[in-house]
Amino acid sequence: MNNVTPRYVSGIRPTGEIHLGNYLGAVRRWRSLEGVFFVADLHGLGGAVQETAESLSRCGVQNVVVESDHKADILELYHQLSFLTPTVLLGRMTQFKDKSASEMATLSLFAYPVLMAADIFYFGGTHIPVGSDQMQHIEFARDLWDVLRARGSTSFEKPEAVIGDSPRIMSLTDATRKMSKSDPDEMSRINVSDPPDVIRQKVRAAKTSMSMADDTPEANNLRTIYRAVGGTRVHERWPTFKAELVDLLIVELAA
Ligand code: ATP
Ligand code: MG
């Protein structure tokens, strides 16, 4: 454990819309934390930077920062870190292993964990509130910190992930994949800005199993979302479950 005042640092890619996975997995917690929450617009080319920043502010997040406003400093640190980063650490990353065989894979797929570590170090993060899919990246930043430490002193704090019981939300159309901004299918995700009728439409269309008792990925995902927005009741049938889920989501996302 760090023996310093926690400083929470976390980021989100500038895809404009914040979806329920981002919100329940990470952004909802950012509202009550002291620190820096940034739009990670150096982690890609282009993007809807202003929309994402506004969307974060509308979610109640304070201290929203745009990463590229600190471009020179962060990229300089990234450059310095690149001389100290053992490539074996990067080669272990799941994202890289999963996608590196594709012709679309670029150098950034390999190197972006270093940029993420540079963000954390630059913004002085001690505690990193992220969704569980980011655990490995924080582990990488910690390993890199150990490397810096072994090579001499470092003025950075060693960061630690703060995941708690934040849920991993899966796609509404394919519950074997996480809900993601990159999914071309709009019906796969609920956005925090979706109006009530769109939320209703998406929840109604979400695949379910035959029986409420079934232990399928789709059913478990809906139950996870239900609990995360405060649902406690036991329903006999999917339609009444979904109706209550829609009500809870509308209240949660309007808050
Ligand atoms: P992309 O597909 O472009 O990576 P994304 O939807 O994963 O986009 P990010 O900007 O990468 O969004 O992630 C922002 C935050 O939201 C991170 O802390 C991440 O852990 C969290 N997050 C993203 N998707 C989910 C999800 N489906 N469930 C829970 N947390 C999530
Ligand atoms: Mg992501």
Residue to substitute in 8, 10, 22, 190 for testing ligand 1 pocket (most ligand atoms within 8 angstroms of CB): 22
Check pLDDT > 90 for residue 211: no
Please name the residue whose Cα sits nearest to atom 30 of ligand 1.
25
Q: Which atom of ligand 1 is nearest to the CA of 134?
A: 20
Alpha helices (runs of H) in 151-205, residue ranges in sequence order:
196-205
Check pLDDT > 60 for residue 1: no
Q: What is the pLDDT of residues 111-165, one digit of tens each?
A: 999 999 999 999 999 999 999 889 999 999 999 999 999 998 788 999 999 998 8
Q: What is the pLDDT of residues 219-233, one digit of tens each?
A: 999 999 999 999 999
In the block, residue with structure tokens 């299918």: 185
Residue to substitute in 133, 135, 165, 177 for testing ligand 1 pocket (most ligand atoms within 8 angstroms of CB): 133
Which ligand gives the minimal distance to the CA of 13?
Answer: 1
The answer for residues whose C-beta is within 8 angstroms of residue 226's C-beta and 6 or more apart is 241, 244, 245, 248
Considering the entire predicted model, what is its pTM?
Answer: 0.91
Cα-trace Rg, the chain: 19
Domains of the chain: 8-163 (3.40.50.620), 186-254 (no CATH)
